Structure 1
Amino acid sequence: MKPAHATSAPSSLAYPPARREDRVEDLHGRRVADPYRWLEDPDAAETSAWSAAQDELYAAYRERVTAQAGSSPVWSSDALAGRLQELLGAGFVGAPAWRGDRRFFMRREGAQEHAVVVVAEPDPSAPGRERERVLIDPVALDPAGTTTLDAWQPSKEGDLMAFQVSSGGTEESVLRILDVATGEIVDGPIDRARYSPVAWVPGGEHLFYVRRLPAEQVPEDERQYHRRVWLHRVGADPSEDVEVFGGGLDMTNYYGVTLTRDGRWLIISASAGTAPRTDVWIADLAADGRDPRGAEALADPRLVEVAVGLDADTHAWVGRDGRLYLHTDLDAPRGRLAVADPSCPGVPHWRTLVAEDPVAVLEGVALVDAGDAAGPDGTRPEQLLVSRRRHTVSEVTVHDPHTGAQLDGPAGVVPLPGLGSVNGLVTRPEGGREVWYSYTDHTTVPTIHLLDTATGAQSVWAAPPGPVVEAPAVRVHQLEATSKDGTTVRAMVVARADALDADGRPTAERPTILYGYGGFQISLDPAYSATTLAWVEAGGVYVVAQLRGGGEEGEEWHRAGRRGAKQNVFDDFHAIAERLVADGWTTPRQLACWGGSNGGLLVGAALTQRPDLFGAVVCSAPLLDMVRYQRFGLGTSWTDEYGDADVPRELDWLLGYSPYHRVADGVEYPATLFTVFEGDTRVDPLHARKLAAALQAATSGDPHERPVLVRRETGVGHGGRALSRTVALTVEQLQFVADHTGLAPAGTPQEAGSAGDAGHAGDQVVA
């Protein structure tokens, strides 16, 4: 069956030949076929030729799609790109990071390719007023737009800024330091600083950071690992840096490092790869009368265990009141807040301050006090704000900082703008009663709000810099489904308000996108999405699944979808898809699944396990060969999430769902678009190459009706990218899904259904 708008396809959509090897290996007594192993080598002439042929195939497909979309006011490439740019045109503004009179924040104006770091400070020429300056602009560093800003951290005084950038999508960060007053680079570049936190020492002469060992000191296949915590003196040669921590520990460890504002308490954390366990140590740099800024204390901190060797994730910091705070899931899978004396930091000395909620997941806390101006007694916190996520919807409550009890009545609840997501509770380092937070939901661009805890008053502190265009009138429906093992799983369904009846039920079956992730404790919370709104505006339905493996319901939810339980994630996804069909939202031929990275594994499993359930698949930067995944990119650091193929029992888990190994000849697979990025150093594009070759050889589907295609992109990687590249990729992905689910490219957004009688734009209703 062709989509309603399909035209005759050219005969050129024929798959390029791919040599199929008779390669079968004995892995712990299991015979495992790998017919396209040769596609792992990107530099081999045969691989290059195959990839070039796939480029030509995709170009032929794109020629057909653009021709049939023509001058459609909705689905032509120009029209769709224009609409996405309008929906993204408001830009972005981040929460402030205060350093005395200066505040630092990120901002992207509507047409900017990348967000920039801005500093706002008192204007010496106009007392009482501020002036703003762009401090870091990735496009100024690289006009080609292939350089991305990975991280930034101002010094405690706000006069220096450490920042990290990488190029071509590699995420191989290089650390530099600039003078905030002049904008001049005063230190760097320091390479091998990927995923490095920075902790400034008061005074700005030193900082702690994380850097990998030099390549010549480790085996070639381990060069992405072996991180250490180092002490660096600003302006010194990095070769003189002092190794502070990490030697002899797990080579995949990621480290966190923080230092209190007074420079006394140093906290270091370590987690092996992406394991949901974090070890924590603390050092009193002023112990035994040492100078906390002196060379001896900084280079040789006397670290004491806070939580080491426990099967728990713990984040620790010392508050302005001198207490050690611990956000932990130890004995509390949905999170609790504990306190201790930092000089006696071990678990036996912890006292639970805010207990675990039976449903909501603890996200963060903020201490609010009278600030430095109140004198010595004013540093005692006056309120404790607690942010939780209840089935992905944020809530903020107010508690007594000494007992942890929530305040009674309205005083104990912070009203939020809607049913959405709160990101961060930001306070000034020197204290005060003000709290900043970012709020977003499915139709609301992220906006920074200011809460005055003394009065309870709230206001918009910083709106996006560009115009906020009218979004389609939508309703958000929370759907529940029962997974294979009886577990209730949820999804957020976003649809035009005029596509629902008075009871919130769909009036017709519609082309639908089902998006999911389901891994690494990542939660898919309500958030503004131009992709979602463009699809819904054109008459489609967009669904975000909240699967096991994610963090939506806490650590138990995560563990129920990892390692040997990974199949639960796919069963959850299938259950939501089946519920969408059963409830009349869509049909299998109108249903597309979409995911990237670990979500690419999700949709790869969906298309190979349930090809009957989907009409189209968008699989971006995916993991797909789960037998060999740990040999490439950052795969070794993910064995705690998926399992280790070198362990027989865990190999069985992986073989049970590995999409590349589940392809069967003669099956009619859905139309599938793989999008891969040649600069990706996290997930190697070989995964998509191998599964694409296997599907093209095996599928019984007509390549004109259900093609298997590969879209390659160079100069970008797994993470951030320029705005224009984001829009171009999204245009092609949405056109592919529309082409293969039957969302007709006809009519303007207004003609697709009158929004005038459907309520105000952005109507948020969770039923």
Structure 2
Amino acid sequence: MCSLCAPDRGCLTDPMTTLPLVETPRIPVVTSYHGVDVTEEYRWLEDGTSDDTIAWTKAQHHLTRTYYDAVPWRDTLRARVEQLLKAERTTYRSLMSGGSTYFALKEQTPRQQPFVVALTDLGDTAAERIVVDPNAIDPSGETAIDWFVPSPDGGRVAVSLSEHGTEDGSLHVFDVETGEVLDEPIPHVNLLGGSMAWRHDGSGFWYTRCADPAGFRQQVWLREIGGAQHRLDVAEGFADEVIAENVLSASLDGRWLMDRVQKGDGGDWQVFIRSQDPDGAWWQLADIPDKCAYAVLGSDAVYVLSRRDAPHGKVLRLPLTEGATVADSREIVPPSHLVIEDFAVTHGTLWVADMDGGPQQLRAFDLDGGLLSTPEIPPVSSVSSYFARLSRLGPDRIAWRCESFTEPPTWWVAADGEAPRPTALATTSPVDLSGYEVTREFAVSRDGTHVPLNIIAAPGSPRDGTAPALLTAYGGYGISLVPTFDPERLLWLEQGGVLAIANIRGGGEYGQEWHHAGRLATKQNCFDDFIACADHLNDTGITSRGRLAIIGGSNGGLLMGAVLTQRPDIARAVVAAVPVMDSLRSETTTNGKFNTTEFGTVEDPETFTALLAYSPYHNVVDGTRYPAVLMTAGENDTRVDAWHAKKMTARLQAATSSGQPVLVRLEATGHLTGSLDQSIEETTDIYTFLFDQLGLGSQLVAAKRQATS
């Protein structure tokens, strides 16, 4: 039996194929933390520019491509991936307004990147026109839009554009009518995140830029279009100016500017406001102890989502007068068993997105907190996500993107005093998931906590352990995995597979308590929850150990690494995309420093102990039978450096005794997949690995033969 064989089935690839051995030097380095000596042997891989690391990376690339070249049906799978992802499909990711014009970020295959369009009627896209198209700016497909903000009158639109997946955006201002760029682009406005807000008359704007070229000490600057030089305009009193992250917004009447400042990435916020008058001065409206997770400027008031003494959230209102603080507020939406995830304010209505463990609903209130008629949202759906929040369109209108696991998104709009209605901004896709069922089940974690599991499968799927299953989760930063539609899921479902999406702790599905129970020294709860979900799938017969694969990215990649090392028997295959794997060295990177508010720091004895206990790289044990592992990384990734995946690959390859492959897929992209073509290749490789390890390749070939016969 070759090294790619599983004990419960035949050879996965050509039995004559032997994967090349990559010789990886082991050079011990000892670091002492609080009297504890920690030894590692692959720190030299952190230097991506060294000749040794470059040679090692090339050898790993050869190893990985040898594996894929030995899979006889990879081309068949790639054709199916391209058919699904490159088929004519249209979706609108975000929606904003400027004057009487609406602006949306539109994704339309087979274009490589989304682009900004302008519309005058949300009920008819016939007159839609392209305003900014990165596909025309860079035909290679490696220039992307980070974010965009239209001017108050809709005559201009500011766009952050970045290249090669770096997310190091430069700010361009385009004339909406002519498409011309006004003034010189401003570089590095989106280094590790950024924002901007327009002056009320469109003559200038405030934007963010880091004082430190490495990406620290983000500041707020004012730029006059075609006039004076940039001017620094920074509030004082940041909780930590080194890792401050500024989120700018302006009131619709043009009177006020707000800066919500996050201390790193851990969910601790301050709120600052100033008048837009030239002599206006900043004042602090809320500090971190006020637990103001979000704030919105109304016409004469500020509305705040506070979690102080209310882990599920409450909405406060306070007069918008100079010097006002959250202490002057009154509660208009009290806390309840539902989590307030998002809200928006129009001229006469407060719209609140509620969540119960993942699925969402929408409530409407008058501005004094009186409950109005509630829009009907389909069960197990979402109206607000990390990437598409509730959107205010002018003074009296709001929009939300409603979708579910099986129904593609459609933007809905509601005006004060009018019934909600769907817009023409609906996703069109050849992928139909409506025939699959979604059920909600609960796993019981080690401490007795009930953890939601969303199960997507064909009706009548067997519960005898024979179905292949793919389990994923995230569990960090208070980010909630709400129901979303993803055409890529059909690749798994059409093979008779079951998809399971777990709402583990560390996310925000049950509010602040759920988040805080999976961060800092309590991070182990995330891993316990995920393990419980995998055990639930096995124990209930949804799948079995040899038919289970697990997958996660970024913080979810850390999750994969921790679960892999704590329970090597948990699954047949593991995919960890752009993962954090060395938890002790992560904060030596720029973005890793921002993440200390979520994970903790090695400088603190308590969180160091927790980090060492679960750090995947440090908990690999020689001679252990690890499952098959695929890691991905982007050499231009500014969020998680590629050396995490490289070091973990070297450590696992040296340690595993199972004979199963440990592969790393490296590409010159960033944290997110770059162009559509790059996404097709990466998706093909991930599913080739999964299908190969779970024995689904023969089904793919049989399906192709049947389709062509």
SS where residue 444 of structure 1 aligns?
coil
1:486 to 448, 451, 467: 448
Normalised by the length of structure 1, the TM-score is 0.86
In the alignment, which residue of structure 2 is the partner of 1:363? 341
SS at match of 2:383: strand
State how 1:458-477 maps to structure 2 within 5 Å: 458-464=421-427, 466-471=428-433, 473-477=435-439
Distance change >3 Å, CA 37–CA 368, structure 1 → 2: closer
Quote the residue 1:677 is aligned against.
634
- Pair 1:276 & 2:255 matched: no
Between the aligned partners of 1:214 and 1:569, the Cα distance in structure 2 is 34
Q: 2:59 aligns with which of 53, 58, 79?
A: 53
- Where do 1:119-130 residues align within 5 Å? 119-121=118-120
Is the alpha carbon distance of 1:752 and 1:636 closer, same or farther for their aligned partners in structure 2, counting shifts above 3 Å?
farther
Aligned residue among 300, 303, 310 for 1:332: 310
* Letter of the structure 2 residue corresponding to residue 328 of structure 1: S
1:435 aligns with 2:434: no
Amino acid at match of 2:159: F
Where does residue 227 of structure 1 map in the other structure? 218
Q: 1:237 to 1:497 in 2, by over 3 A?
A: farther
| Distance (whole Å) between structure 2 residues aligned to residue 448 and residue 129 of structure 1 | 13
Contact 2:235-2:282 within 8 A present in 1 as well? no
Aligned partner (choices 694, 699, 702) of residue 746 of structure 1: 699
Is contact 1:420-1:439 (8 Å) kept?
A: yes
Residue of structure 1 in register with 2:150 after alignment: 154
Residue 570 (str. 1) matches residue 527 (str. 2): yes
Change (3 A) 1:458 1:247: closer
Q: Do the aligned partners of 2:431 and 2:487 also contact (CA within 8 Å) in 1?
A: no
Give the SS at the match of 1:414: coil
Aligned to 1:593: 550
Counterpart amino acid of 1:79? R
Equivalent-residue separation in structure 1 for 2:617 and 2:700 (angstroms): 40
Cα displacement (A) at 1:161: 1.3
Q: Distance in 2 between matches of 1:446 and 1:5?
A: 41
| Residue type at the aligned position of 1:338 | L
Q: Deviations over 1:466-501 (max 9, x none)?
A: 44443362111112011111111111111111415x
- AA aligned opposite 2:409: P
Please, which of 281, 285, 288 is the counterpart of residue 302 of structure 1? Answer: 281
CA distance in 1 between counterparts of 2:549 and 2:692 reads: 11
For residues 199 and 66 of structure 2, the distance between their equivalents in structure 1, rounded to whole angstroms, comes to 57
| Alignment of 1:420 onto 2:381 | yes
Partner of 1:220: none
Percent of pairs with identical residues: 32
Q: Which string of whole-angstrom CA distances, capped at 9 and with x for unpartnered residues, describes residues 347-371 of structure 1?
A: 322111001122x2112333444xx
In structure 2, the CA distance between the partners of 1:748 and 1:397, relative to structure 1 (3 Å rule), is farther
TM-score (norm. length: structure 2) = 0.93
Residue 762 (structure 1) aligns with: none
Partner in structure 2 of residue 191 of structure 1: 187
Match of 2:30 among 24, 35, 38: 24
Once the two structures are superposed, the pairs formed by residues 76-91 of structure 1 within 5 Å of their partners are 76-86=77-87, 89-91=88-90
Q: Indicate the larger mover: 557-566 or 583-592.
A: 583-592
Moved over 6 A (4+): 748-754
Structure 1 contact 425–435 (Cα < 8 Å) conserved:
yes
Give how far 1:394 is off: 1.2
Unaligned runs of at least 5 residues, structure 1: 123-127, 216-222, 286-291, 370-380, 501-505, 755-767
Correspondence for 2:510? 553
Q: How far did residue 81 of structure 1 move?
A: 2.9
Give the deviation of 1:131 after TM superposition. Answer: 3.2
- 3-state SS of paired residue (1:650): helix
Match of 2:4 in 1: none
The offset of 1:457, in angstroms, is: 5.1
The answer for the alignment partner of 1:244 in structure 2 is 234
Q: Quote the Cα distance in structure 1 between the aligned partners of 2:542 and 2:131.
A: 48
Contact kept in structure 1, 2:81 and 2:683, CA below 8 Å:
no
Question: Residue type matched to 2:187 in 1?
Answer: D
Q: Could you tell me whether the CA contact under 8 Å between 1:95 and 1:448 is conserved in 2?
A: no
The within-5 A match list for 1:337-736 is 337-343=315-321, 345-358=324-337, 360-369=338-347, 381=348, 383-402=349-368, 404-407=369-372, 412-423=373-384, 424-431=389-396, 434-451=397-414, 454-456=417-419, 458-464=421-427, 466-471=428-433, 473-500=435-462, 506=463, 508-702=465-659, 706-714=660-668, 716-719=669-672, 721-736=674-689
Following superposition of structure 1 onto structure 2, how do residues 285-300 of structure 1 map, counting pairs within 5 Å? 285=276, 292=277, 295=278, 297=279
What is the distance in 1 between the residues matched to 2:52 and 2:441? 47
- Change in Cα spacing, 1:368 to 1:163, as seen in structure 2 (3 Å) is closer
Unaligned runs of 5+ in 2: 1-6
- Number of the residue aligned with 1:313: 292
Which digits, 9 at most, give the CA deviation of each residue in 1:656-678, with x for residues without a partner?
Answer: 00011101111010100011111
Instruction: Provide the C-alpha distance between the structure 1 equivalents of 2:217 and 2:125, rounded to a whole number of angstroms.
Output: 48
Partner residue in 1 for 2:3: none
Alignment partner for residue 202 of structure 2, among 198, 201, 204? Answer: 204
Q: 1:247 and 1:231, CA in 2 relative to 1: closer, same or farther beyond 3 A?
A: farther
Distance 1:517 1:25, change over 3 A: same
> Are 1:256 and 2:247 matched, yes or no?
yes
Q: How far off its partner does 1:18 sit?
A: 0.6
Q: Name the counterpart of 1:375.
A: none
Q: CA deviation at 1:507?
A: 5.2
Aligned to 1:503: none
Alpha-carbon offset, residue 272 of structure 1: 1.3
Shift in CA distance, 555/232, structure 1 to aligned 2, threshold 3 Å: same
Change (3 A) 1:455 1:200: closer
Cα-to-partner distance string for 1:287-336 (whole Å, 9 max, x where unaligned): xxxxx2xx3x2xxx32222112416233223313x122111212211111
Give the SS at the match of 1:413. coil
Deviating more after overlay: 569-578 vs 533-542: 533-542
Deviation at 1:84, TM superposition (A): 3.9
Structure-2 change in CA distance of 1:428 and 1:80 (3 Å) = closer
Shift of 1:80: 3.4
SS in 2 for 1:62: helix
The answer to whether the 8 Å contact 1:476/1:494 transfers is: yes
CA distance in 1, matches of 2:364, 2:640: 42
**Per-residue deviation, 1:99:** 2.0
Shift of 1:262: 2.3
